Structures are given as structure tokens and as C-alpha cells.
């Protein structure tokens, strides 16, 4: 079965054992590596990426002082062909472990206007994380459940949607931060702070950055604001929201959406 999945996959890295193993390692074992044992935070930095802005503060100190657990920079929909059963597996987990959900979670960020999974995820090639989150009972129980389901290999579940779903379910909205002041490029995608050149702290061109107005980024800002600051007079919306058609249906239909 596994060889058939690889030979017929019609999505990026679908034929690769190594990519699947990397995603599984990043999802469930990186934070357990001995080299990270004495660390409280980590910042994932990959080859061939670029950073375009001056950093006049320490992001680790910023996260610690503000009680933040997960920081991200780019959000976008996942290739749904790589995760056809991830959401339903997640819903099965939630029905079995409702006690693990955060009271003020970002759950609605994962849903479209019909209450279906929208595939939004934080691109995990940039993430700054309080490792106590990945070491938590909630996260580790979730990963073990997914691992037993087999989707890391029989499909091609990536660490990005796994991390993102976990952050949206097990963290409060106030604990997840969008580092929109950091200009960043990962091959094929650029994010650059608005008015970056006029502010004089970045060398990127915000006119060539498209992810700030993307559905997943806008949706995150709206959902977080509705939870953290529901009485705000100015909406957090940056641009138009373009929803995709429902792809995977939730087994828990009675979920409130915004």
C-alpha cells in the first residue's frame, strides 16, 4: 500500500520517503532531541531563507515577557491532497480528549464560513516556539494519536498543519503571535512588513509581498481579535477573504464560526 501511495502521489514530495520522515520528526521528535533538552525556546531557520529587517529586540525575550507560546510569519492553505484524513482524525481525537482544548482557542481560524476545515496552517519553516508547548501532555498525546493513524506515511501529513492545528486547539489565542514586523523569504514566498521601505528598517519591497492579504493571515487576525479584544472599534482585516470550497467535513458540526 505504501509503495502504491508514493508511486501515484500527485503532490510535492509525494514520492519521497525522506520528506515523510522529516515531517514526522519535526512533528513529534525534534523537541525531544538531546540538543534541545536544556532550551526553553527555539527558532527554526532553514537553508536558503532570507531575513530582510533589522531586529531591534530579542524575540525570545518578547515571547517570554508576553506569555507567548507560538510565533509565526507566513500562513497559507495546505495542499489538501497531502492531508485528506488529517482533519477527521483530529476531530476523532477531539471527541476523545475534549479536556485538552484551550478555553480561548483559535479553533475558528481552522474553519471556513460553512464550518468546514479550510486547510490554513502556519508555515513552519519559520516558527519561534516555547518548547513547553511541544513538550506538553496535550501536544504529545495529539502527536501520538496522529502517529498511530499512519497519515505521515500513507498520506503525506506535514509538520506545518500538525503544529498549526495543535496551536489552534491547545493554546489560547493570546498565546499565538504573528511576527508581521519580520521580512522573510522562503523559496517561492516573500513576506515583507507594510511600508517597510519608508520605515527604513527593512530592505524588502512590501509591494511584492502577497501573504499579508491572504485568506489565512486575514482570518487569523480577525479570529484572534474577536477573542482577545472583542470590543475593538477597528477591525483587524487587512484585505479581502477568499474562501475555498469545502473539502473535508467536520465530524463535529455544532461548532460556532465567526
pLDDT digits (tens, 9 = 90+) for 155-213: 999 999 999 999 999 999 999 999 999 999 998 888 888 776 666 688 887 777 766 56
Number of residues in the chain: 258
Mean pLDDT confidence for 202-228 = 83
Instruction: Identify the sign of the CA torsion 47, 49, 52, 53.
Output: negative
Identify which of 201, 2, 6, 161 has the alpha carbon closest to the alpha carbon of residue 72.
161
Cα-Cα-Cα-Cα dihedral of 214, 217, 223, 226, to 10°?
-100
Give the pLDDT score at 256. Answer: 38
Which grid cell is 91? 476531530
Residues 3, 96, 127, 222: which is the catalytic one? 127
**Stretch 220-227: mean pLDDT:** 92
Side-chain half-sphere exposure of 131, counting CA atoms within 13 A: 18
CB 213 within 8 A of CB 239: yes
What is the grid cell recorded at 61? 525575550
pLDDT at 241 over 60: no
Q: What is the pLDDT of residue 246?
A: 30
What is the pLDDT at residue 1?
A: 81
| pTM beyond 0.95, yes or no | no
pLDDT tens string 106-122: 999 999 988 999 999 99
DSSP H or E stretch at residue 50? strand 50-51
Higher-pLDDT residue of 135, 214: 135
pLDDT reported for residue 211: 62
Reduced to 3 states, what is the DSSP secondary structure of residue 178? strand
Q: Provide the 3-class DSSP secondary structure of residue 42.
A: strand
Q: Are 204 and 53 spatial neighbours (Cβ–Cβ below 8 Å)?
A: yes
Tell me the three state secondary structure of residue 217: helix
Let me know if 155 is a catalytic residue: no
- CB count in 10 Å sphere of residue 70: 23
Q: What percent of the chain has pLDDT over 70?
A: 85
> What are the cell numbers at 34?
538531546
Residue 237 has pLDDT above 70, yes or no: no
Amino acid at each position: 500500500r505504501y509503495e502504491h501511495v508514493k508511486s501515484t502521489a500527485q503532490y510535492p514530495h509525494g514520492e519521497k520517503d525522506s520528506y515523510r520522515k522529516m515531517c514526522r520528526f519535526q512533528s513529534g521528535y525534534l523537541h525531544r532531541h538531546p540538543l534541545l533538552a536544556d532550551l526553553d525556546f527555539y527558532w527554526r531557520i532553514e537553508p536558503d531563507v532570507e531575513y530582510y529587517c533589522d531586529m531591534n529586540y530579542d524575540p525570545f525575550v518578547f515571547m517570554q515577557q508576553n506569555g507567548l507560546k507560538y510565533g509565526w510569519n507566513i500562513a497559507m492553505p495546505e495542499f489538501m491532497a497531502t492531508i485528506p484524513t488529517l482533519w477527521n482524525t483530529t476531530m476523532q481525537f477531539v471527541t476523545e480528549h475534549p479536556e485538552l482544548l484551550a478555553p480561548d482557542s483559535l479553533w475558528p481560524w481552522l474553519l471556513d464560513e460553512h464550518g468546514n476545515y479550510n486547510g490554513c496552517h502556519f508555515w513552519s519553516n519559520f516558527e519561534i516556539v516555547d518548547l513547553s508547548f511541544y513538550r506538553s501532555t496535550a501536544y504529545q498525546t495529539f502527536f501520538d494519536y496522529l502517529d498511530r493513524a499512519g497519515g505521515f506515511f500513507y498520506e503525506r501529513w506535514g509538520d506545518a498543519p500538525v503544529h498549526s492545528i495543535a496551536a489552534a486547539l491547545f493554546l489560547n489565542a493570546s498565546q499565538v503571535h504573528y511576527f508581521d514586523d519580520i521580512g522573510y523569504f522562503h523559496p517561492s514566498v516573500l513576506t515583507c512588513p507594510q511600508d517597510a521601505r519608508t520605515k527604513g528598517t527593512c530592505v524588502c519591497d512590501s509591494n511584492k509581498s502577497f501573504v499579508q492579504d491572504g485568506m489565512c493571515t486575514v482570518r487569523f487576525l480577525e479570529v484572534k481579535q474577536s477573542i482577545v479584544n472583542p470590543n475593538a472599534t477597528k477591525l483587524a482585516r487587512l484585505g479581502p477573504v477568499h474562501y475555498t470550497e469545502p473539502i473535508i467535513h467536520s465530524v463535529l458540526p455544532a461548532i460556532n464560526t465567526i
